[in-house]
């Protein structure tokens, strides 16, 4: 038993030291980006507040206008209706230069448009490494899940790495729980905080007891972090072993490099017509967003009210997908329907963001982010103090052993 506990202690130590810095970053940024929309709107009103009163122009007209003004880009996400007096944030990606076969050099990927006049109110490189007012919130958002590591050979190695960190975190939560209860008779100590003692005792309790009180919530964050970063690589294959999954182009198709993507053969207006008719047949809200993915060759139409892209207070919004070549159905994502595996996958983002229960969930996740940062810091400090104490003990033992060793007799020094 003692050997098993020592082994678990070593595993927790090295797992913890490996993930501590990354979880500290993810925890702090997660606490902030729970309010990314509100904070970004406060910092950058030009991206959120429309300047012209009056009826909104059709969203497809605004998208066409953006592409005419900037022929080197293509609209990849388009809100189909904006909230009253709010600007419309349109996402773009560079087109392929036919003369070089490479993507055009474009230093921005998001534009804010007045939905009434069509005038551009601002542009930015969302997620770019910058602490400017326009980029600080997107920078923190991307730092949260990918550490802002650039693509390597077209692969998002930052997201892959943070997914590996999350896997280690999942295993470490179980190891930490085992270590937190050394004896069944003293289980109450694992929930207690020695506030009056302070110092190392309180530091230890903050790390151990703090982790015990929120253990289940930490496990949910860790598992959903794996799902968010390694959905197609790890989570979907595992879930499909236990449950049949509905067709989803992002799980069943292999992404290709953007410069190899073929031009869509079906107009987005036609896709919207097909989706609107299908949504009406199913009794859904009118379409709220249009997505185009060159890497997967699909269009997606989301059904939600203006400003409700995240679908707060549930499993999210329904989406229909269509093949960009011929407009044929390519799958659907309808929250609350499908197999147990489908519902499990649908719940990952709402759980990770806390939006599954609306505003209270966002507050909870923000507090959990701070708790994750605290657990990371206290764990490293405890390890450092133990290491320093052990080094001092070893020094004292070495000095004591040297001073107590008798000098050899002179005869022993003779050849």
| pLDDT by 10s per residue, the chain, length 415 | 778 888 999 999 999 999 999 999 999 999 999 999 999 999 999 999 998 988 999 999 999 999 999 999 999 999 999 888 899 999 999 999 988 989 999 999 999 999 999 999 999 999 999 889 999 999 999 999 999 998 887 789 999 999 999 999 999 999 999 999 988 888 889 999 999 988 989 999 999 999 999 999 999 999 999 999 999 899 999 999 999 998 888 888 888 888 888 889 999 999 999 999 999 999 999 999 999 999 999 999 999 998 888 888 899 999 999 999 999 999 999 999 999 999 999 999 999 999 999 999 999 999 999 999 999 999 999 999 999 988 888 888 888 765 444 544 444 334 3
376 Ramachandran zone, left/alpha/beta (phi>0; psi -120 to 50): alpha
Residue 314 has phi, psi (to 5 degrees) of 165, -160
Residue 275 corresponds to which tokens in the numbers above? 């989706």
Report the SS3 class of residue 160.
Answer: helix
Report the C-alpha gap between 7 and 22 in whole angstroms: 24
Distance of CA 270 to the CA centre of its chain: 33
pTM for the whole thing? 0.90
Contact at 8 Å (CB) between 108 and 130? no
Question: Taking Cα atoms as reference points, which of 80, 76, 96 lies closest to residue 88?
Answer: 80
CA dist list (Å): 200 to 181, 204, 253, 270, 384: 19, 6, 53, 66, 12
Return all residues near 368 (Cβ < 8 A) that are at least 6 apart: 27, 30, 31, 214, 217, 218, 221
Contact at 8 Å (CB) between 369 and 28? yes
Residue 158 has phi, psi (to 5 degrees) of -65, -45
């Amino acid at each position: 038993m003692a050997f098993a506990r020592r082994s678990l202690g070593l595993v927790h130590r090295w797992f913890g030291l490996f993930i501590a810095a990354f979880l500290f970053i993810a925890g702090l940024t997660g606490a902030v980006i729970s309010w990314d929309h509100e904070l970004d709107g406060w910092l950058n009103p030009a991206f959120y507040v429309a300047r012209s009163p009056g009826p909104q122009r059709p969203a497809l007209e605004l998208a066409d206008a953006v592409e005419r003004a900037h022929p080197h880009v293509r609209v990849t996400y388009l809100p189909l209706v904006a909230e009253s007096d709010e600007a419309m944030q349109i996402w773009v990606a560079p087109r392929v230069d036919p003369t070089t076969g490479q993507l055009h050099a474009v230093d921005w990927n998001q534009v804010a448009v007045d939905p009434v006049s069509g005038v551009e109110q601002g542009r930015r490189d969302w997620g770019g490494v910058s602490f400017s007012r326009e980029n600080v919130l997107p920078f923190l958002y991307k730092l949260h899940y990918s550490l802002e590591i650039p693509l390597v050979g077209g692969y998002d190695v930052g997201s892959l790495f943070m997914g590996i960190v999350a896997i280690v975190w999942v295993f470490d939560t179980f190891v930490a729980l085992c270590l937190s209860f050394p004896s069944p008779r003293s289980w109450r100590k694992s929930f207690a905080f020695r506030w009056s003692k302070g110092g190392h005792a309180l530091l230890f309790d903050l790390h151990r007891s703090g982790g015990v009180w929120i253990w289940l919530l930490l496990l949910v964050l860790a598992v959903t972090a794996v799902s968010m970063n390694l959905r197609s690589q790890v989570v979907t294959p595992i879930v499909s072993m236990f449950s049949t999954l509905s067709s989803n182009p992002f799980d069943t198709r292999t992404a290709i490099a953007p410069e190899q993507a073929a031009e869509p053969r079906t107009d987005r207006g036609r896709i919207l017509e097909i989706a609107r008719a299908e949504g009406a047949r199913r009794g859904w809200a009118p379409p709220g967003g249009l997505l185009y993915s060159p890497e997967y060759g699909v269009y997606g139409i989301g059904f939600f009210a203006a400003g409700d892209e995240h679908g707060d207070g549930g499993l999210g919004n329904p989406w229909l997908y269509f093949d960009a070549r011929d407009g044929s159905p390519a799958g659907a994502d309808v929250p609350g329907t499908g197999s147990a595996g489908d519902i499990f996958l649908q719940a990952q983002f709402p759980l990770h963001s806390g939006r599954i229960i609306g505003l209270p969930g966002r507050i909870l996740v923000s507090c959990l982010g701070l708790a994750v940062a605290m657990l990371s810091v206290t764990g490293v400090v405890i390890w450092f103090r133990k290491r320093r104490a052990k080094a001092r003990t070893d020094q004292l033992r070495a000095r004591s052993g040297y001073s107590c060793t008798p000098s050899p007799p002179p005869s022993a020094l003779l050849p």
